[in-house]
Structures are given as structure tokens and as C-alpha cells.
Amino acid sequence: MLIKASTPTSVLLVCLGNICRSPTAEEIFRQQVAVAGLAMKVDSAGTGDWHIGHAPDERAQRHAKAHGYNISKLKARQVTENDFHNFDLILAMDTQNLADLQVIKNNIADTQAKLAKLALFSEEDPTYGGDDVPDPYQGDSDAFEEVIERIESSSQAWIESWKTN
């Protein structure tokens, strides 16, 4: 397998509070990247500050664990301006997160700096392309299962997009 020159070396996954979708995506993405043999820094953050320092939602932890993903040691943090300098690609779980990230990026004073590319998490996914990863926080068990299914699919789609024949 050859990897495209545009393949990032670092990816940040972002949702609103960094306790459901993005920590789940961080672990799924990290595992899939490792299986694909890619060397990549993977992290997650939220656009909001409500849960800084908290572990992922217990329901997210339980559903992730049932699928072989341990997110229990992750701690929520908020996106910072430094993230735009320290990551090659920032993937937003939904269009509102993407819009919020674009505002932060637009307000970075250093216009000469190479800043992270922004994209919607599902952008490369032929199944969910352009769709938001729905926030399961107010939902039931099925909502958390749907999030895992979508994240697995979109993670794999990004990895496939970086491979060349």
C-alpha cells in the first residue's frame, strides 16, 4: 500500500462537548489508523467548555467498550488556537461544529501560518457523506450505537482516501 503525500500526520476530531462523539471517534480512528499501518497523531476536543477535564459520558464508554474500544481514560478538553497549528486536519462531527471551527480559524491573527485543514467527519464516506454524526447525548441506546457505526464507517473512508493503488 502506498500513502498519498496529502495524508495527514495528525488529526483532531471535534464535537460539541468532547464527551460522546469525538472521544469515541478518537479511539476508533486511532485503532483503524494503526491497523492500516499509518503513523498518525490522533486526538479529540470539543468546541464547548462545559465538560473540560471530565471522562467521556458513561453511556458512550459502555457502548464503545462493547465494540472493543476503551475510552475511559480520555479527558474532555476544548479546542484551542494552538490546535490549528499543531494538527494537519481537523474533522468536525457536524456542520455546526465545522462552522464554529471555521470562526476560530478565521480569527487566528497569524495569516502566514500553515493552519489545519477543516472538513466534516463524514466528508469522504460514500455511505454517510455530508451527513452530521448525530449527537447521542439526549438519545437512547440506539443513538450511541448509530454513532459508533457512523464513526467506524467514516474513519475507514478517510483511511481509504489516503491510500493509492
The residues annotated with a catalytic role in the active site are: 15, 21, 135
| Sequence-separated (6 or more) residues with CB below 8 Å from residue 140 | none
Task: Look up residue 95 and give its three cell numbers.
Answer: 456542520
